[in-house]
Amino acid sequence: MGCHLTKEFDEEKLKKNPIYSVNNKTYIADAKNQLLLTENEIKLVRSSWKDLAKNGDFKKYGIEMMIKIFVNHPEIKHIWKFAAKLNTEEEMRESAQLRSHGNNVFEAINSAVNVLDKLNNTNTNLVELGKKHTLYGAKTCYFVIMRDAFMEIISESLGNNFSSEHRDAWINCFDFFISQMGKGLVE
Ligand code: HEM
pLDDT greater at residue 33 or residue 149: 149
Q: What CATH number should be reported for the domain holding residue 90?
A: 1.10.490.10
d(CA 67, CA 149): 9
Q: How much is the pLDDT for 150?
A: 97
The per-residue pLDDT for 14 is: 41
Query: For residue 137, how far is its CA from the centre of ligand 1 (angstroms)?
Result: 10
132 lines ligand 1 (CB under 6 A): yes
Q: How many domains does the chain have?
A: 1
Q: Which domain holds residue 112?
A: 41-184
- The reply to whether ligand 1 has any atom less than 6 angstroms from the CB of 142 is yes
| Residue 28 located in a structural domain | no
Specify if 23 maps to a domain. Answer: no
Asked if residue 27 is part of any domain, the answer here is no
Instruction: Write the pLDDT tens digit of every residue in 42-86.
Output: 999 999 999 999 999 999 999 999 999 999 999 999 999 999 999
- Say what the pLDDT of residue 5 is: 40
Q: Is residue 127 within 6 Å of ligand 1 at its C-beta?
A: no
Q: What is the pLDDT of residue 113?
A: 93
Contact 178, 140 (CB under 8 A): yes
pLDDT at 118: 56
The answer as to whether 165 is a domain residue is yes
- For the chain, report the end-to-end CA distance as a whole number of angstroms: 15
Q: Which of 2-16, 67-81, 126-140 has the lowest mean pLDDT?
A: 2-16
Query: What percentage of the chain exceeds 90 in pLDDT?
Result: 59
For residue 24, what pLDDT is reported? 52
The answer to whether residue 67 sits within a structural domain is: yes
Give 139-176 pLDDT, tens digit per residue: 888 998 999 999 999 999 999 999 999 998 998 899 88
Report the pLDDT value the prediction gives residue 157, as an integer from 0 to 100: 97
Distance 70 CA to ligand 1 centre (A): 14
Q: What is the CA(123)–ligand 1 centre distance, in A?
A: 17
Q: Does residue 63 form part of some domain?
A: yes
| Domain-embedded: residue 70 | yes
**Sheet-wide strand order for 19-22:** 19-22, 25-29, 36-38
Overall average pLDDT of the 94-121 stretch: 88
- Rounded to whole angstroms, how far apart are CA atoms 50 and 42? 12
CA distance linking residue 81 with residue 96, whole number of Å:
13
> Is residue 125 one of the residues assigned to a domain?
yes
Distance 132 CA to ligand 1 centre (A): 8
